Structure 1
Amino acid sequence: MTGEPRIPCGHAAQPAPAHSNDAIAHIADKASLRASLKAARRALDPAEKARRDALIGARVLAWWRGLDAAGARALGVYWPLRGEPDLQPLYLELARAGVALALPLVVAPDTALAFVEWVPGEAMVSDRMGVAVPAGQRLVERPALLLVPCLGFTAERYRLGYGGGYYDRTLEALPRPYTVGVAYAADQVAFAGGPHDVALDRVLTEA
């Protein structure tokens, strides 16, 4: 699934008051979607998951090969958790091709993500959120290209995450990176984007 350039969200409407019925319903709707998507991932057969992950990896690799040489030198990736597509074989292939990989790092609550250099195979530890990061944390500038895991996504390429808002804050800073959402095709859902949501530039699935 691909799309046109990023669509800013909430450009016409003002944010709903924090305690309005609409805002409460919006939060409840996203919570319900998250619960449903998490359950579906837990129920996914491991062999089927591996098949889908391999297909997604192939699609991401094809996208990367279509980039110009300068634009393909660095890539922000993610360490899979909670049933997210596992693209580690792809990361190894990209590293062998000379791509500088970076993993996100949570440095504090309610802040943008930092990024650290990562070489597949190096020693890893858990960060404050329980996510694997390199033991030797070598901070780098935020890459201009990011693979962003999605718990869910809409036809308009708005991302549904886990509710922490880390990627939202990361994408606020200009110039924004080019973002490629990674998800399963069955993760496509419908919800109204919030005033701070930014549409992904592209979403790649196994389909």
Structure 2
Amino acid sequence: MNPSIARDTPPPQTQEEAAALHKQRLRAELLARRKALTEEDKAAADALIGQRVLHWCAAQAIHSLAVYQPIRREPDLSAAYNALAARGVHLCLPVVVDKQAALEFRAWHPGDALEKDALGTLVPPAGTAVVRPQALLIPCLGANAAGFRLGYGGGFYDRTLAATPRPLAVGVCHGFGRVEFEAQPHDIALDSVIFDDI
């Protein structure tokens, strides 16, 4: 046996390593598809998702909701946020306080001043009231049939949803984000996912 062949053969992947690699490839593919959306298609998708978020909040009697400021061409739901605030729903935004911690949520109303955090995300400034929302609105790159979310891999929402009692969690996702992947031990399923297709 040639020892160089044995040396150059990569070690076999564990099931968890294979699942992580599959998710990494899906992330790249879905980011590219989202980036390729025309402005017209993106605006139509954003409007449809926003309407469905409003219906979901009404059906669930949501009075306190964590929303998000879009990055990487995530759905822009600012019109829905305005409508929710007008209905008296208390909104807040997530803040990363530590790379290995759950998210913190700070009260926010559309129009309030925001500042960029260390990751470049817009957040309410330090000193803003910290709240515990009834539900979280979570952007997804993808989601599988079991309701597990594919995000950017930081694990912030999974750590947040691991808390007890946990808030309701609804994802928002483009229809092309319906993908299949195996959940990893740290993944936590969402309660529901709102898509822009059916």
After TM superposition, the score normalised by the length of structure 2 is 0.90
Match 1:122 to one of 108, 112, 137: 112
Tell me, in whole angstroms, the C-alpha distance in 1 between the residues paired with 2:79 and 2:127.
Answer: 22
Residues 177 and 56 (structure 1 numbering): CA distance in 2 closer, same or farther, change over 3 Å?
same
Q: Deviations over 1:135-178 (max 9, x none)?
A: 36413232121101101100111000101010010011111111
Is 1:27 aligned with 2:27?
no
Equivalent of 2:74 in 66, 84, 94 = 84
Root-mean-square deviation (CA, aligned residues, Å) is: 1.4
Q: Quick one: percent identity of the two aligned structures? A: 48
Structure 2 contact 170–192 (Cα < 8 Å) conserved: yes
Question: What SS does the aligned partner of 2:65 have?
Answer: strand
Does residue 1:110 correspond to 2:92, yes or no? Answer: no
Q: Which one-letter code corresponds to 2:37 in the other structure?
A: L
TM-score if structure 1 supplies the norm length? 0.86
Report the secondary structure of 2:41's partner residue: helix
| Letter paired with 2:105 | F
Encode CA deviations 1:91-127: one digit per residue, 9 max, x unaligned.
0111111111000000011110000011111221111
CA distance in 1, matches of 2:18, 2:64: 40
Residue 57 of structure 1 deviates from its aligned partner by: 0.5
1:46 to 14, 19, 39: 39
Gaps of 5+ in 2: 1-11
Secondary structure of 1:104's aligned partner:
strand
Q: Which amino acid aligns with 1:78?
A: Y
Checking the alignment, whether the CA contact within 8 Å between 1:104 and 1:113 is kept in structure 2 is: yes
Separation of aligned partners in 1, 2:132 and 2:143: 23
CA contact (8 A) 2:108 2:124 kept: yes
Q: Higher RCO, 1 or 2 (CA under 8 Å, sep at least 6)?
A: 1
Gaps of 5+ in 1: 1-18
CA offsets 1:172-206 (integer angstroms, 9 cap, x no match): 11111111111111111110011121111000011
Give the C-alpha shift of residue 20 in structure 1: 5.0
Query: What amino acid maps onto 1:45 in structure 2?
Result: T
How many residue pairs match? The answer is: 186
CA contact (8 A) 1:114 1:139 kept: no
- Per the alignment, residue 143 of structure 2 pairs with 153
Residue number in structure 2 paired with 1:98: 88
How far does the alpha carbon of each residue in 1:20-72 deviate from its partner, in whole angstroms, 9 at most, with x for none? 5322211211110000000001100011100010001011111112233xxx2
